[in-house]
Each structure stands twice: as C-alpha cells, then as structure tokens.
Amino acid sequence: NAGVTQTPKFQVLKTGQSMTLQCAQDMNHNSMYWYRQDPGMGLRLIYYSASEGTTDKGEVPNGYNVSRLNKREFSLRLESAAPSQTSVYFCASNPPVAGGGETQYFGPGTRLLVL
Amino acid sequence: QKEVEQNSGPLSVPEGAIASLNCTYSDRGSQSFFWYRQYSGKSPELIMFIYSNGDKEDGRFTAQLNKASQYVSLLIRDSQPSDSATYLCAVSLSGGYNKLIFGAGTRLAVHP
C-alpha cells in the first residue's frame, strides 16, 4: 500500500514550457486535491476532484488544468509555465466517510522551478 | 475570504517543556479542525483532528477547540527535539465542500 504517490519529485522548466504532474492513490479514496506551498504561506488549493469524473477550481486555479483520469489518478497540467509557478506541489486524497472524511493524506510533493 | 491565522514563530521551547501552538479561523460554520506536522522538505502528516468543543488527547498531544472564540490550539507535552517541525492548522470550509483551508504554520524548535 503506497498511499499517495507523485511524479516527478523535482522538475526544472523554462518559461513557456508545459508539463504534467502526476498523482495516484491506492486507498480507494473518492476525493483528490492539488495544492501549492510557497515559503511563508500555507497550502493553497489549486483544484480538487470530489469524485471520479468531476473537478472544480480551488483558491488559485489560474494557469493550471487538471484531469481526473480514473478513481486512482489526478493530474495537474501547466500549459505555459511562468516563474510565479515555482513552488512545491502536493497532491492529497481523502476517504468518503463523513465525520472524518476531510482527513487528507498527502503525497511526497513535487518541487518545481521555473526559470 | 475565509482565513486561518497562526503565529509563524519560531516558537522555541526546552526539551521536556510544554509547547503551545495556537490558531484562529474566520469561518464560523467550520466543523472540522486538523493539526498537521511538516518536517522540512517533507509532506504534511496528520497529528490530530477535533470536531467538538473541549479537549482531545492522544499521547503527548492535546487539541483544544473553542468554536465560540473561533480558536484551536495544540499542546505538546514533554517536548522532544524530534518534535521540531512546522505545525499547520487546517479548518474545513462550511457548506460541505470537503475542502480545507490551511494556516501558514508555526515553526517549533525544541532545544536540548
């Protein structure tokens, strides 16, 4: 049981390049999330998916797109990377149980540097 | 704009002392409250969650919730150097969207 996995661990991009961050969970969780974390700031929600086939914007969605490929996988795409997107990206998931369903489990993160 | 506020620290305590971490939130409808620990360069890991007013204890950790004051705290008894990390407070958004709002975190340093 690997939990939440993310690839790649680290990536360097040039301004304008595109890339996709991959996330997968093997816990049979319905909900999945993408966050970014910048120095001195908390985790900020980019996009989330309450269940397979649905996605919705979070607090900071501009410049990103997502795909919930199936129940296990939730990818984040940067179409044209900008230096402001330099950050650490975390994927998370949580089970569908009410009264504890919001407990989120995080992947190891992807460090992205945009030059 | 719904917010979660934490003192950024660093909070420095001697080994064996009690560390007290505080958090306030703005969404009066929030029902669920979480404390995550994050070591440098690592991902957040859940320490505790609390839903009801009062105290909840788990080993050396005690979470305290006061919904009237919109205040959550985490006490760490018998602090150890291994407790040195950033502690993130997270609050669920009202409206049943299953989303969390995170504070920026308090950095705790436990010195021998």
pLDDT of residue A10: 97
Q: How far apart are CA B111 and CA B13, in angstroms?
A: 6
pLDDT of residue A69: 86
CB B25 within 8 A of CB B93: no
pLDDT of residue B97: 61
pLDDT of residue A96: 66
Q: How far apart are CA B72 and CA B15, in angstroms?
A: 23
The DSSP bridge partners found for residue A45 are A35
Q: How far apart are CA A14 and CA A67, in angstroms?
A: 23
Tell whether the model's pLDDT for residue A1 goes beyond 80: no
Q: What is the mean pLDDT of residues A4-10?
A: 96
Restricting to A residues 55-94, those with a Cβ less than 8 Å away from any Cβ of B are 58, 90, 94
H or E element, residue B93 = none
pLDDT of residue A39: 85
- Taking the Cβ of residue A104 and every Cβ of chain B, the question of whether any pair is shorter than 8 Å is answered with yes
- Mapped onto helix, strand or coil, the DSSP state of residue A94 is strand
pLDDT, tens digit, 9 for 90 and up, residues B62-101 = 999 999 999 999 999 999 999 999 999 999 887 656 788 9
Instruction: Choose from A35, A45, A104 for mutation: most chain B CBs within 10 A.
Output: A104
Q: What are phi and psi of B83, to 5 degrees?
A: -80, -10
Instruction: Choose from A43, A47, A60 for mutation: most chain B CBs within 10 A.
Output: A43
A40–B44 CB contact, under 8 Å = no
The DSSP bridge partners found for residue A111 are A10, A88
CB A49 within 8 A of CB A66: yes
pLDDT, tens digit, 9 for 90 and up, residues A22-32 = 999 998 888 99
The DSSP bridge pattern shows strands A87-94 and A110-114 to be: antiparallel
A109–B43 CB contact, under 8 Å = yes
Q: Which of A15-19, A102-106, B27-31 has the highest mean pLDDT?
A: A15-19
Mean pLDDT of chain A: 91
H-assigned helices in chain B = none
Q: In 3-state terms, chain A is what percent helix, strand and coil (to 5)?
A: 5, 50, 50
Q: How far apart are CA B60 and CA B80, in angstroms?
A: 10
pLDDT of residue B96: 59
